[in-house]
Amino acid sequence: MKSKSAVIAMFLVLSVLCGVSFASKPNIILVMTDDQGYGDLACHGHPFIKTPNLDKLYTQSTRFTDFHVSPTCAPTRSALMSGRAPFKNGVTHTILERERMALSATTVAEVLKTAGYTTGIFGKWHLGDDDAYQPDQRGFDEVFIHGAGGIGQNYPGTQGAIPGTSYFDPFIKHNGTIVKTKGYCTDVFFQQALTWIKQTKDKPFFAYIPTNAPHGPFIVADKYKKLYEDKCKGDTVAFLGMITNIDENMGLLMKKLDDWNLANDTLLIFMTDNGSARGSRVYNYGMKGAKGSHHEGGSRVPLFMRWPGKIKPGVDVDRLARHYDLFPTLAEFAGAKLPAGYKLDGKSLMPLIKNPKAEWADRYTVFHKGRWNKKGAPGRRGKGDTDPENAKFKGFAVRNEKWRLTGKDELYNIDADPGQQANVADQNPKVVKEMLKAYDAWWTEIKPMLVNEDAPLDTGKPFIEQFKKQKNEKGIPNWKPKF
């Protein structure tokens, strides 16, 4: 018979291995890349992409293999930040002021701050360029971002890139001041994140690193493109090169966490914001659809979670999870209380992190491409049907653990047919009816929340205006990392 002390020791070991109890608040680093799909990783079977550091992270992590976001970027970002479905934040597009996250939303950064965390963002915000919508007003202490939905983008409304900015040496808004950086955009974002982490590592921190790469335009140093010139053609060459550059930065991040003795105290998360923009032309994990699609390939993305000694490595969780689940999950890791009366769509993934076979109630979850035209918008975007109600059944899907309803009359058994090859709607009319009923209820709920549909487009361009004013009054300082 084992001694009492031996039993206690065994229990403690099992607790660590199984993730039964998290006694301390981890630092949290969340890296989210832009337009990288589930198949754009060597660890997911890509035939030639070079991602050794992400492959290493894969082996060290619990991986969610049925994790879904939105078909495009701003909607995903709003769900991640708010814990609510994108349309409930008024985010129905990526431009035309329909990318602005409603001011009624509470952000995960605000919640983490209540638990004693300091918070920083490094990269792409894309939830409103007007001052009231900026991350410094939404719970972030350290802000290091580019404007608009991408470096160099300009659209009617407040989105407008600073003149002369580019993927190399971009202009960045750093805590209210426009600075001129030196280097490639992804490198710059990781270097500033590391600078900040080094300065704040003595207290719990939340570092959100949403890269703009590998979003187009597809620009990267020639040495990365040369890796793929004999493997693929066109934009895909640079697209894959941009991912390998991201991978190198992930390697740097993980090395510094080791060097600074932070790895064991840090929850490191990697994910992407929608399906692949270019990689699906080469390898798409057998899925149908890519970025912008309401099929599996438009929404299924990687989710890796590493916390050495606390989260079990090399484990796959195959239960259906969504982007808005991360809000309550991170709050639970941090020991933060959720805001009273704030209604979440997400639920904490903690039970599945602790035990992939835990009870997990099935649920219906909705996808919608959005992106209908807007009255008053210039060109083709202002023509045709601009009534959201008429877009209700265009580009939508409903999922649960077994089924994906794609449109009104396409039903796929995802368990048996993950590539969506066999439409079984006619054989399962009851399933179709039930999923359409759930979708109707969801649409009724979100309709009053589409707060950006009539937002005016005759606005100023805050980033451009600040740049011009600052340049005339005090100049544009140069940025230097200090990690």
pLDDT at 152: 96
pLDDT at 19: 40
Cα atoms in the Cβ-side hemisphere of radius 13 Å centred on 104: 15
Confidence tier at 9 by pLDDT (50, 70, 90)? very low
Q: How far apart are CA 392 and CA 438, in angstroms?
A: 13
Cα atoms in the Cβ-side hemisphere of radius 13 Å centred on 67: 26
Q: How does DSSP assign 233-288, residue by residue?
A: -THHHHHHHHHHHHHHHHHHHHHHHHHTT-GGGEEEEEEESSS-SSGGGT--TT-S
pLDDT at 10: 39
Asked whether the predicted pLDDT for residue 47 surpasses 50, the reply is yes
What is the tens place of the pLDDT at every residue in 68-107?
Answer: 999 999 999 999 999 999 999 999 999 999 999 999 999 9
What is the tens place of the pLDDT at every residue in 318-362?
Answer: 999 999 999 999 999 999 999 899 999 999 999 999 999 999 999
Give yes or no on whether 25-354 and 365-449 have one common fold. no
Q: Which of 11-25, 98-112, 218-232 has the lowest mean pLDDT?
A: 11-25
Confidence tier at 17 by pLDDT (50, 70, 90)? very low
What is the tens place of the pLDDT at every residue in 184-211?
Answer: 999 999 999 999 999 999 999 999 999 9
Cis check: omega of the bond before 339, within 30 degrees of 0: no
Asked whether the predicted pLDDT for residue 421 surpasses 90, the reply is yes
Which is catalytic among the residues 43, 73, 185, 232? 73
pLDDT at 24: 80
Mean pLDDT over residues 23-39, rounded?
94
CATH no. for 25-354: 3.40.720.10
Which is catalytic among the residues 126, 146, 294, 323? 126
In order of 5, 29, 83, 383, 384, the CA distances from 94 in angstroms are 58, 25, 18, 18, 19
Q: How far apart are CA 363 and CA 113, in angstroms?
A: 30
What is the tens place of the pLDDT at every residue in 439-480?
Answer: 999 999 999 999 999 999 999 999 999 999 999 999 999 999
Mean pLDDT over residues 100-115, rounded?
98
Question: What percentage of the chain reaches a pLDDT higher than 90?
Answer: 94
What is the tens place of the pLDDT at every residue in 52-69?
Answer: 999 999 999 999 999 999
Q: How far apart are CA 279 and CA 281, in angstroms?
A: 5
What is the overall mean pLDDT for the chain? 95
Contacts of 277 (CB under 8 A, 6+ apart): 35, 37, 214, 215, 216, 239, 290, 291
Q: How far apart are CA 148 and CA 134, in angstroms?
A: 11
| Lookup: tokens for 14 | 């099992």
SS (H, E, C) 176-233: CEEEECCCEHHHHHHHHHHHHHHHHCCCCEEEEEECCCCCCCCCCCHHHHCCCCCCCC
Confidence tier at 22 by pLDDT (50, 70, 90)? low
Asked whether the predicted pLDDT for residue 1 surpasses 50, the reply is no
| Lookup: tokens for 273 | 């914001």
**Which H or E element spans position 31?**
strand 27-33
The backbone region for 132, taken as left when phi is positive above 0, alpha when psi lies in -120 to 50, beta otherwise, is alpha
- Of 25, 28, 46, 26, residue with least CA distance to 36: 46
∠ CA 205-208-209, nearest 5°, is: 130
* 2 CA to centre of own chain: 48
pLDDT at 18: 41
| Lookup: tokens for 407 | 């449109």
∠ CA 335-331-68, nearest 5°, is: 150
Contacts of 151 (CB under 8 A, 6+ apart): 161, 165, 166, 167, 170, 185, 212
What is the tens place of the pLDDT at every residue in 252-299?
Answer: 999 999 999 999 999 999 999 999 999 999 999 999 999 999 999 999
**Which H or E element spans position 81?**
helix 73-82
Q: How does DSSP assign 428-479, residue by residue?
A: -HHHHHHHHHHHHHHHHHHGGG-TTTT--S----HHHHHHHHHHHHT--PBP
| Lookup: tokens for 265 | 């105290």
Which architecture, in CATH terms, is 365-449?
2-Layer Sandwich (3.30)
Asked whether the predicted pLDDT for residue 15 surpasses 50, the reply is no
**3-class state of residue 124 by DSSP:** strand
**3-class state of residue 147 by DSSP:** coil
pLDDT at 23: 53
Answer whether 257's CB lies under 8 Å from 268's CB: yes
Question: What percentage of the chain reaches a pLDDT higher than 70?
Answer: 95
User: What are residue 107's phi and psi, to 5 degrees?
Assistant: -100, 160
Q: Tokens 């309550």 correspond to what residue? A: 328
Question: Is 43 an annotated catalytic residue?
Answer: no
Domain layout of the chain by residue ranges: 25-354, 365-449
| Lookup: tokens for 158 | 């407040």
Question: Is 232 an annotated catalytic residue?
Answer: no
Q: How far apart are CA 9 and CA 453, in angstroms?
A: 59
